């Protein structure tokens, strides 16, 4: 069976490197992007099995826009081909801005599959990715 490919989109190179090391050590293929636009380009180019997406990048809402564009892409677009991928949103927005989100309550305007708070422990990252990939393969 081929290794699952994970795309990490986060503007903090230290966080990207930490997640990449954990994922590669656990036999995932990893691609990285460091901005919202780079993430949109990379998801089309890399065709990952799952995206790990930060909320706050250049703008506080970049991750929200990326998720929305992917999941609501026009049927004839390149993004539409990847829109079924699970998105794990990693964020510190709750701590920094006092906001909280839930896929079950916020799915209409924020179509992600799960949220985790930064800083994320390696075991939690691996568990959540494993769960989302398992659900996606059913």
Task: Determine how β-strand 5-9 pairs with β-strand 87-91.
Answer: unpaired
pLDDT digits (tens, 9 = 90+) for 8-51: 999 999 999 999 999 999 999 999 999 999 999 999 999 999 99
pLDDT, one tens digit per residue, over 52-99 is 999 888 887 898 899 999 988 999 999 998 888 999 999 875 554 545
The candidate with the shortest Cα–Cα distance to 48, out of 16, 77, 6, is: 6
Per-residue confidence (pLDDT) for residue 112, from 0 to 100: 87
Nearest Cα to Cα of residue 18 among 126, 122, 93: 122
Domain extent listing, the chain: 5-136
Q: Which residues pair with 50 in a beta bridge?
A: 6
Say what the pTM is: 0.86
Beta strands in 2-137 (DSSP E): 5-9, 29-33, 50-54, 87-91, 114-117
Give 5-136's CATH code, choosing from 3.20.10.10, 3.40.50.300, 3.90.1150.10, 3.40.50.2300.
3.40.50.2300
Which pLDDT belongs to residue 100?
52
């Amino acid at each position: 069976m081929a290794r699952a490919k994970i795309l990490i989109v986060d503007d903090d190179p230290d966080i990207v490197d930490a997640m990449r090391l954990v994922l590669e050590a656990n036999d995932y293929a990893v691609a990285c992007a460091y901005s919202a636009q780079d993430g949109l380009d990379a998801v089309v180019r890399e065709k990952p099995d799952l995206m790990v997406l930060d909320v706050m990048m250049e703008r506080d809402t970049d991750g929200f826009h990326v998720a929305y564009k992917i999941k609501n892409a026009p049927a004839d677009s390149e993004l539409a081909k990847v829109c079924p991928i699970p998105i794990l949103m990693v964020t510190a927005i709750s701590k920094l801005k006092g906001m909280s989100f839930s896929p079950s309550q916020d799915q209409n305007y924020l179509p992600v599959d799960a949220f985790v708070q930064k800083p994320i422990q390696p075991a939690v990252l691996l568990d959540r990715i494993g769960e989302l990939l398992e659900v996606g393969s059913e």
